[in-house]
Structure 1
Amino acid sequence: MHRLSRRSVNSILHYGTHRRRAVASVSVYSLTINEMGGGEKNCDDVRWHSTTAKCSKTLKLGRMMIPSWNRYESTGSKFQTTESTVVVPVEKYEYEAEVSRLMDHVANRVYSNKELFLRELISNASDALDKLRFLSVTEPQILEGAPELDIRIQTDQDNGIITLTDSGIGMTHDELVDSLGTIAHNGTAAKFLEALNDSKDAAAGSDSNLIGQFGLGFYSAFLVADKVVVSTKSPKSDKQYVWEGEANSNSYVVREETDPDKFIPRGTSIKLHLKRDDKGFAHPDIINRLIKIHSQVVSFPIYTWQEKGYTKHVILNLLIKRRSKKIVNESQPIWLRNPKEVTREEYNEFYKKAFSENFEPLASSHFTTTEDEVELRSILYLPAMEEYFFDDIETNNIRLYEKNLFISSDFDREMLPDYIRFVKGVVDSNDFPLILLREIFQESPIVRIMRKRLAHQALDMILLLSKGENRKDYEKFWKKFGVFLMLGCIEDGENHKRLAPLLRFNFSNNSKAVETMMSLDEYVENMKPGQEDIYYMSVVNALSGVFVPFILENDFQVLLVVDTIDEVALTNLKSYKGKNFVDVKKVAKKIVPSRADLS
């Protein structure tokens, strides 16, 4: 079955299916030699010209031979003729209709979770690095000049600029135009807009998520930026190209990079000129926080620069900012590692970081499975602290990842039955539905397979804890979460066989209550010869003493049920290992009077 990958690299790496459309003859930026060579280089200080030009000579600039043009302007031009200027050909294009609609929507709609722009751009950078790494297996020479594969993010708080650079595959001129001016799959933007309008969860944050799910991640930059500049160098080309686009514009320009100071050996650099209200994103601490939330486990190192104070330059009498580079993410997700190579300390440390917990978990379960062609990688945890939640309160205990990228934590109820929503963990799969909407998750047969597998794994994890050497660990767990497992016996008939061994009960022995809790397995092992049933009674009846004669005469152990839910759970289970659950109240009324008559 053909599926469009959410983290599609079509927007950055692949060739589009539409040819670009130039809307005018090639225009030119007029840049003076001083601007191109020495002194300050300001590529934004440009002049548009539609006049004809004649080449007079060629200048050598950096590694490029650039023609020098004499310009002929009308006397009505407000610009004066500059002799011997260097011009850089600039191509202007219109966005395809689909892209134009998308750009307008992204630029002008108020999204509830703008911070996802960074996740999408890092995802694209990671895809570009993945492609380069794959190609380097057969073409090792493409790594020459820049063997390190990484992502670097720099911020300029003063000017509200974020620059994200990867050393990935980069783009040629045609790839740049085809990727950022068109959408490779017809109707993709239209489907995105339709899904967004139809989404009932748009106010809850799913609006921003949809951009990445439709392979439109690059355009998420316009959630926070009013201008985006992309500079890219492909190993397949000896030239570096620049793409510039602005929000609320139906066109973009592409030109060759001619400033040696801006040359990169390979890869792509994206510079975001942030909107006035979004300049706070340029703070290094915010960037680091977003990386830890959304891109912590990207498989390539992500570097950021942190300000470390100022150094005074004595001669110039200036204060110079000191910055240090540091890696922010982990190179490999813990759930992709071999469980045999991960220590318990590493599992516990990841749990505390991922879920902001102070206490270590009671247990963990790390597994990879392929069931019914659905691949799943996960780590589940049993928390040490009690989580109070009710049917109308949403939890965010299950974090969903795809290709190492965090995509959502809003689908606990779809991934696990309600009665074990206290379980926390991460789930990584490439088979999640394309659109992250609750209705789609609920109807997805793939998600149902995942839910079943996760429930089995969670219950098996609890069973292992119950069989551990330290009996008190499980008793502590039972006091906190036992009521939810009783609820599972009522709601989840398919998992009765997995739930029953987990149940614990106080019990009476010779009419005396015992503080130690008993499992159903222990009860069955201690049954008297000839005893056919498992007896239970409510604590209220036990305290009343009405049925003490029956217990004494038969010398049966009796399970004590504290709450009504316990009794209903046993009624739903009906039996365990061929032994029926029987309420003492029902049999004692028949047996005790008859014995009294005999006396």
Structure 2
Amino acid sequence: MMQRLSSTTTTTTTRSALLRYGGGALRRDVLAPISSSHLTAKSQVGESDTKAARWFSIMSSDRSTFDSSNLKRDLFFGKRYESTAAESSSSAAAERYEYQAEVSRLMDLIVNSLYSNKEVFLRELISNASDALDKLRFLSVTEPGLLKEAVDFDIRIQADKDNGIISITDTGIGMTRQELVDCLGTIAQSGTAKFLKALKDSKDAGGDNNLIGQFGVGFYSAFLVSDRVVVSTKSPKSDKQYVWEGEANASSYTISEETDPEKLIPRGTRLTLDDKGFAHPERIEKLVKNYSQFVSFPIYTWQEKGYTKEVEVDEDTAEDKKDDQDDKTEKKKKTKTVVERYWDWELTNDTQPIWLRNPKEVTKEEYNEFYKKTFNEYLEPLASSHFTTEGEVEFRSILYVPAFAPSGKDDIINPKTKNIRLFVKRVFISDDFDGELFPRYLSFVKGVVDSNDLPLNVSREILQESRIVRIMRKRLVRKAFDMILGISMSENKEDYEKFWENFGKHLKLGCIEDRENHKRIAPLLRFFSSQSDEELISLDEYVENMKPDQKDIYYIAADSVTSAKNTPFLEKLAEKDLEVLFLVDPIDEVAIQNLKSYKEKNFVDISKEDLDLGDKNEEKEKEMKQEFGQTCDWIKKRLGDKVASVQISNRLSSSPCVLVSGKFGWSANMERLMKAQSMGDASSLEFMRSRRVFEINPDHSIIRNLDDAFKTNPDDEDALRAIDLLYDAALVSSGFTPDNPAQLGGKIYEMMGMALTGKWSTPGQFQSTVTQPHTPETLEAEVVEPTEAGGQK
């Protein structure tokens, strides 16, 4: 069975180890040719040399011909070197082998159906090279002779866009001829069966078929981008170098001995791919930095570079027209700056994985610099957390809390923010997650996670079903909460104010979606209150300020702090000096309802019926019901189905009445939110509205006047209209929206007309009206006519 090798798989057999084949690169000062093109270049090879000349990356592999002065000349005068694929044929006869049947099927699947993102081929092949280097380093401890060729441990990638060739070379363990047959021509039946079953399950689930690498088939990802792959490899245990060549649609492959001296490598493996799509130096460099930035071995890419120099330019002909005196003056030669181009190796993975270091040795500046570089940020984070978890699941991670939310703040809805970068053995795997590592309410947290326990290619199905991932998620969430709690406890309160302004809604969403972590979320919440002087307070601060006999945490939901402060529900609590939380965000009420309690204190909505302020007087309540019971029934009869009942209130002191929600009904704030839902259920809205309770204040003059009106004449139209207007006024003051605002306006105008009649009449008009009974005829002519005329104006 083919499987990926790493430094941890130290007990595997040589054959299994060599699956992640090694590769060869020459000494740092001697680079092997990667071209098999035969070009005529007399000026570079020599005038007398009439044979076809072979071109090299930088210099000849023949150490005797190496001249540092020539190298300097070639580099700094912009020699353009060709690099094409190594010829697969050699003087030795190639032997043809048939693929195992499962391999042919597997290659067809890889080429035609597996990957939608083909660029991961480079990640796979670099991982193979890294594993081969790891294996050689481990084996060399007990077999020092394996390192008889003094070459560095590195990986080199060269892209030739002119010829469409990619070359990947490493100096790892390499392979013998038999190992080429065993590792690249066959796959253990069990491994193939598992792979094909996983592929079928993934397709049936409609998931991402990102499975290469889980079952030891990472090498075949080369056929994603290349129809023809050449593997030239030399094991330090063998004196011979072999060439494996295969094509994507072929049923066989060839193996031959390499006899061309110019293609020999001291140790390792070189892959040559025919691909025009990815064979661009800039693209290769970008892919290496994206996927393999933190591979433990240096990765060099072949890049075009330049340097500036001054060169002489021709004199301007206008200079010839200068006078004789100027001619006698010594002229300075004119120069200009030009850029000379040349090609050379460049270290591409120069950033070391900071998470592998001891947190005590990493400075705050290093954490901040890593954050800015990794996530393209320009502001420092509010906090960071660097930790390692051990036990049944081991992984390392660095998490950050950004200073600001992204523009638009849409990540609370869309969890796919690409803020968490998952690495497996320092190889970047993905940043495209949908809640597998972090819940969406923590989607603002940024960071890197590096695990050795996950397969190199992690499909969406594996992330969702893996027990390892579930354990990682739980620990990451806890660490994120610890980090946020640290900000809240900081002496610099401005940091948490900034955090709450940007990410407070995320935590409130967590109250709704993550019941398991309520105890961690609740201490982080902040609200305005009736006693906080427009400053946010925590639930801990509220509990500390509670009265000794206070059992509950009181709150009211409103559209603003101003509305909450002026609500009639607050009157009695303000008199008793009881603090009330103001929930002014649309999500606040739902969040608090999901919390239900905090430190054994229940949350109580003061706009709901049956409010208990701890001062019940049963005798007084009984007297009030006897005195106003019939009046309540009279008002209920007038209001009909608008209210569920009419009761005596214990929460009012200065207002005549208030409209409260039923115990299980919607508050005014919730009703407003439900109305805003375009797909809301109208029948549910009507049912919840019918549960309202109309509470009256028996100590208010308006209520007492209505009581007198009921006892005098229950059918008095003015009294009945007063009840209607009183209900509408309570509806507005309690935060509800009237069904017919225009009708409410008409009622108000009518009452104003009745109240203001005759109040601002002129003294003459008032005197005429008083004396009218004594001189009716005269006064009628004098008073009425002007009034009628005035009415026509």
Per the TM superposition, whether the score is higher than 0.5 is: yes
Q: Looking at CA atoms only, which structure, 1 or 2, has the larger radius of gyration?
A: 2
| 1:307 aligned onto 2:304 | yes
1:594 Cα deviation from its structure 2 partner: 8.7
Question: Which secondary structure does the structure 2 equivalent of 1:515 belong to?
Answer: coil
Amino acid at match of 1:101: R
Within the candidate set 75, 97, 113, 2:101 is matched to 97
Amino acid at match of 1:250: S
- Match for residue 616 of structure 2? none
Amino acid at match of 1:199: S
| Cα shift readout 1:339-376 (whole Å, capped 9, x = no counterpart) | 111222222222223223333322221111125x1112
- 8 A contact 1:106–1:222 mirrored in 2: yes
**Cα 1:152–1:203 shift into 2, 3 Å:** farther
Separation (CA, whole Å) in 2 of partners of 1:97 and 1:198: 21
- Match for residue 35 of structure 1? none
| 1:385 aligned onto 2:404 | yes
**Cα 1:498–1:590 shift into 2, 3 Å:** farther
TM-score normalised according to structure 2 size: 0.60
For structure 1, which segment, 437-446 or 248-257, has the greater mean C-alpha deviation from structure 2 after superposition? 437-446
1:572 Cα deviation from its structure 2 partner: 2.3
- Match for residue 522 of structure 2? 500
- 8 A contact 1:112–1:203 mirrored in 2: no
Separation (CA, whole Å) in 2 of partners of 1:40 and 1:248: 33
| Cα shift readout 1:424-465 (whole Å, capped 9, x = no counterpart) | 222222333687333443233222222211111111111111
Separation (CA, whole Å) in 1 of partners of 2:358 and 2:529: 43
Question: Which secondary structure does the structure 2 equivalent of 1:378 belong to?
Answer: strand
Amino acid at match of 1:378: S
> Comparing both structures, which one devotes a greater share of its residues to strand?
1
Aligned pairs for 1:286-435 (under 5 A) are 286-309=283-306, 322-330=342-350, 332-371=352-391, 373-386=392-405, 387-389=409-411, 391=413, 394-432=416-454
**Cα 1:593–1:385 shift into 2, 3 Å:** closer
**Cα 1:597–1:109 shift into 2, 3 Å:** closer
1:212 Cα deviation from its structure 2 partner: 1.9
- 8 A contact 1:7–1:217 mirrored in 2: no
**Cα 1:323–1:361 shift into 2, 3 Å:** same
Amino acid at match of 1:259: D
**Cα 1:389–1:594 shift into 2, 3 Å:** closer
**Cα 1:577–1:549 shift into 2, 3 Å:** same
TM-score normalised according to structure 1 size: 0.79
For structure 1, which segment, 230-239 or 294-303, has the greater mean C-alpha deviation from structure 2 after superposition? 230-239
| 1:223 aligned onto 2:224 | yes
1:151 Cα deviation from its structure 2 partner: 0.6
- 8 A contact 2:136–2:173 mirrored in 1: yes
Separation (CA, whole Å) in 1 of partners of 2:539 and 2:233: 66
Separation (CA, whole Å) in 1 of partners of 2:136 and 2:446: 35
Amino acid at match of 1:430: N
Separation (CA, whole Å) in 2 of partners of 1:195 and 1:320: 53
**Cα 1:348–1:200 shift into 2, 3 Å:** farther
Aligned pairs for 1:89-128 (under 5 A) are 89-109=93-113, 111-128=115-132
Separation (CA, whole Å) in 2 of partners of 1:293 and 1:13: 32
Question: Which secondary structure does the structure 1 equivalent of 2:142 belong to?
Answer: coil
- Match for residue 199 of structure 2? 196
| Cα shift readout 1:105-164 (whole Å, capped 9, x = no counterpart) | 334458421111100000000000100111122223322323411111112111111111
Within the candidate set 566, 573, 580, 1:558 is matched to 580
Separation (CA, whole Å) in 2 of partners of 1:496 and 1:339: 29
Separation (CA, whole Å) in 2 of partners of 1:532 and 1:563: 25
**Cα 1:495–1:5 shift into 2, 3 Å:** farther
| Cα shift readout 1:236-293 (whole Å, capped 9, x = no counterpart) | 111111111122111111111112211211111111122xxxx131111101110111
Within the candidate set 132, 142, 145, 2:149 is matched to 145
Separation (CA, whole Å) in 2 of partners of 1:295 and 1:338: 22
Question: Which secondary structure does the structure 2 equivalent of 1:212 belong to?
Answer: coil
Amino acid at match of 1:336: L
- 8 A contact 2:463–2:469 mirrored in 1: yes
Which stretches in structure 1 are left out of the alignment for 5+ residues? 18-37, 43-61, 63-85
| Cα shift readout 1:281-336 (whole Å, capped 9, x = no counterpart) | 11111011101111111011101121125999x9xxxx996113211114642222
Aligned pairs for 1:48-63 (under 5 A) are none
Separation (CA, whole Å) in 1 of partners of 2:515 and 2:308: 69
For structure 1, which segment, 448-457 or 497-506, has the greater mean C-alpha deviation from structure 2 after superposition? 448-457
**Cα 1:254–1:16 shift into 2, 3 Å:** farther
**Cα 1:551–1:202 shift into 2, 3 Å:** closer
Amino acid at match of 2:587: I
- 8 A contact 1:352–1:359 mirrored in 2: yes
Separation (CA, whole Å) in 2 of partners of 1:594 and 1:320: 88
Separation (CA, whole Å) in 2 of partners of 1:111 and 1:145: 38
**Cα 1:198–1:577 shift into 2, 3 Å:** closer
Amino acid at match of 2:524: L
Amino acid at match of 1:499: I
| 1:15 aligned onto 2:15 | yes
Amino acid at match of 2:104: S
**Cα 1:39–1:468 shift into 2, 3 Å:** farther
- 8 A contact 1:167–1:267 mirrored in 2: yes
Within the candidate set 567, 572, 576, 1:545 is matched to 567
| Cα shift readout 1:509-564 (whole Å, capped 9, x = no counterpart) | 1xxx6232111122222334443332222235624331343243222332211134
1:40 Cα deviation from its structure 2 partner: 4.3
**Cα 1:173–1:311 shift into 2, 3 Å:** farther
Within the candidate set 162, 166, 186, 2:166 is matched to 162
Amino acid at match of 1:416: F
Amino acid at match of 1:342: V
| 1:466 aligned onto 2:488 | yes
| 1:250 aligned onto 2:251 | yes
**Cα 1:87–1:492 shift into 2, 3 Å:** closer
Question: Which secondary structure does the structure 2 equivalent of 1:249 belong to?
Answer: coil
Question: Which secondary structure does the structure 2 equivalent of 1:352 belong to?
Answer: helix
Structure with the greater relative contact order (CA < 8 A, sep ≥ 6): 1 or 2? 1
Amino acid at match of 1:344: K
| 1:282 aligned onto 2:282 | no
Separation (CA, whole Å) in 2 of partners of 1:524 and 1:106: 61
- Match for residue 525 of structure 1? 544
**Cα 1:479–1:587 shift into 2, 3 Å:** farther
Question: Which secondary structure does the structure 1 equivalent of 2:271 belong to?
Answer: strand
> Comparing both structures, which one devotes a greater share of its residues to helix?
2
- Match for residue 82 of structure 1? none
- Match for residue 515 of structure 1? 534
Amino acid at match of 2:189: N
- Match for residue 575 of structure 1? 597
- 8 A contact 1:380–1:426 mirrored in 2: yes
Which stretches in structure 2 are left out of the alignment for 5+ residues? 18-49, 55-61, 63-89, 312-338, 614-647, 655-696, 701-793
- Match for residue 468 of structure 2? 446
Amino acid at match of 2:199: L
**Cα 1:119–1:7 shift into 2, 3 Å:** farther
- 8 A contact 2:5–2:132 mirrored in 1: no
Question: Which secondary structure does the structure 2 equivalent of 1:414 belong to?
Answer: coil
| 1:186 aligned onto 2:183 | no
For structure 1, which segment, 573-582 or 255-264, has the greater mean C-alpha deviation from structure 2 after superposition? 573-582
1:202 Cα deviation from its structure 2 partner: 9.8
**Cα 1:311–1:336 shift into 2, 3 Å:** closer
Separation (CA, whole Å) in 1 of partners of 2:241 and 2:161: 27
- Match for residue 241 of structure 1? 242
- Match for residue 21 of structure 1? none
**Cα 1:201–1:148 shift into 2, 3 Å:** farther
Count of paired positions: 523
For structure 1, which segment, 221-230 or 553-562, has the greater mean C-alpha deviation from structure 2 after superposition? 553-562
Question: Which secondary structure does the structure 2 equivalent of 1:472 belong to?
Answer: helix
